[in-house]
Amino acid sequence: MTFKINSGPGSFSAISQVSTTTATITNGVATAQLTSDTAGTTEIYATYGTTNSTTKTVRFTAQTVSLTASSPAAMNSDPITLTATVSPAVADGSLVTFSVVSGGAIASIGGATSQNVPTSNSQATAVLTPSGASTGTVVVRATYGTVNSSDVSVQFASITSPVMVLTASKSYLVTAADPILVVASFYPSLSSGTLINMNAAGGAGVIKVEGGTYGTSATPGVIASGALAGKAYVYLKSSDSTTTGNATVTASYGIYPTTSAIVSFLPEIGTSTKSVSLTASALTKIAGRNVTDIRFNIVNDAVSNSACYYKSITPVALLGTLIPNYQQSDANSTVVSFADLSGTGVALGSTAPVKLLDIEYGYNPVMASLSIVPVSMTVAGGASVTLTAADFLIQ
């Protein structure tokens, strides 16, 4: 039996080896190992005499290290927590090195420019502590073995050297159903209601405040309470659902230096429809009670140079009086909720899986992988049901 690579990286080594790609057949089975030092997708097949097997596709993934900061900025008296995640998973106790690439006079990690931290569940954390005497930008990095994360920049501010930061998804599909949020944060903080001048340039995107009209400028106020308390935000969407390119959103206020965020508007390459259902384990937890509220996030793993946004969601008819609501305001999470305002709830039955919805995604360049992060479930009478990812099925 001869094993062959049709396309992509990698090489074969036969277990019952005759040659590099040929294995002997024992009890009707031939086995070979496929390995690759390069990430990518490989198409393989096997031949016996003049007969070819069907092709199979194998995906090789490279070891990666991602690094995030608990905040993009802070006052020069406040520490920032750094979290490194190694993928694929590594053994607990594996060492990740956190390093200050530049700005060592402004802040340190463990009192030095680098620190080795053991992993737990493939993650490691370190604290970036400011000196308290300086302000400016600090660049940090995480390393596992020979693999480096992308550099992450954070800023430290003071009363006399304030900082304003804009955050937004790096990529967006022109066909996305929902706008995304562009959020301004302030160091030191501003009073609620303070108006911030924001503008969109480049032609690909337009902005608006809550309840406003889309255009190239908007003046949001600093929010008093809620998840975005102390911040100001605008909605950003495609100007015409077809124009691609970059949209540059800028924000300015008083002595705070003007800052900007660039969002790449990408064309839709393809679509994919998935269904989300509850599994038998979820029905066991519900125990025949009527459901009055379900909340969960559908998370995709699209990275900064790709995009995956929902285009439409179709709830199934059996949900009856459970009123659906959906929103995807960032690159990776679609927020889904079903709520029954009557309080009597809906019986989901006892036969699994119980389909909740169909969701159609547009994507560029490939469809991302999806997972569920449960938020909450409530049944008639007000009792809460704790769900896990295993209680949901995506197919």
Q: What is the CATH number of the domain that holds 221?
A: 2.60.40.2410
User: Which among 218, 234, 265 is the end of a domain?
Assistant: 265
Residue 28 has pLDDT above 60, yes or no: yes
> For the residues 52-62, what does the mean pLDDT come to?
80
- 112 and 143 together in one domain: yes
- Rounded to 5°, angle at Cα 354 from 294 and 271: 85
- Which amino acid is it at 155? Q
- 26 and 112 together in one domain: no
Please tell me the distance from the alpha carbon of residue 90 to that of residue 123, in angstroms, as a whole number: 9
Q: What is the pLDDT of residues 78-115, one digit of tens each?
A: 999 999 999 888 999 999 999 999 999 999 998 999 99
Q: What is the pLDDT of residues 65-78, one digit of tens each?
A: 999 999 999 999 99
Beta-strand relationship, 256-266 and 171-173: parallel
The number of domains in the chain is 4
pLDDT bracket for residue 19 (50, 70, 90): very low
- Sequence length of the chain is 395
The alpha carbon dihedral of 144, 127, 231, 151 has a sign of negative
- 293 and 376 together in one domain: yes
Domain that holds residue 181: 163-265
> For the residues 16-25, what does the mean pLDDT come to?
57
- 301 and 343 together in one domain: yes
Q: Are 99 and 110 in contact (CB under 8 A)?
A: no
Higher-confidence residue: 209 or 32?
209
Average pLDDT of every residue of the chain: 91
pLDDT bracket for residue 158 (50, 70, 90): very high
- 370 and 291 together in one domain: yes
The alpha carbon dihedral of 104, 105, 106, 109 has a sign of positive
Residue 351 has pLDDT above 80, yes or no: yes
User: Which among 136, 157, 178 is the end of a domain?
Assistant: 157
Name the pTM for this structure.
Answer: 0.78
Please tell me the distance from the alpha carbon of residue 145 to that of residue 211, in angstroms, as a whole number: 50
> For the residues 252-264, what does the mean pLDDT come to?
96
Please tell me the distance from the alpha carbon of residue 175 to that of residue 238, in angstroms, as a whole number: 8
Q: What is the pLDDT of residue 230?
A: 97
- 386 and 280 together in one domain: yes
Q: What is the pLDDT of residue 17?
A: 44
- 298 and 385 together in one domain: yes
- 186 and 215 together in one domain: yes
Q: What is the pLDDT of residues 307-336, one digit of tens each?
A: 999 999 998 866 778 888 999 988 999 999
- 377 and 274 together in one domain: yes
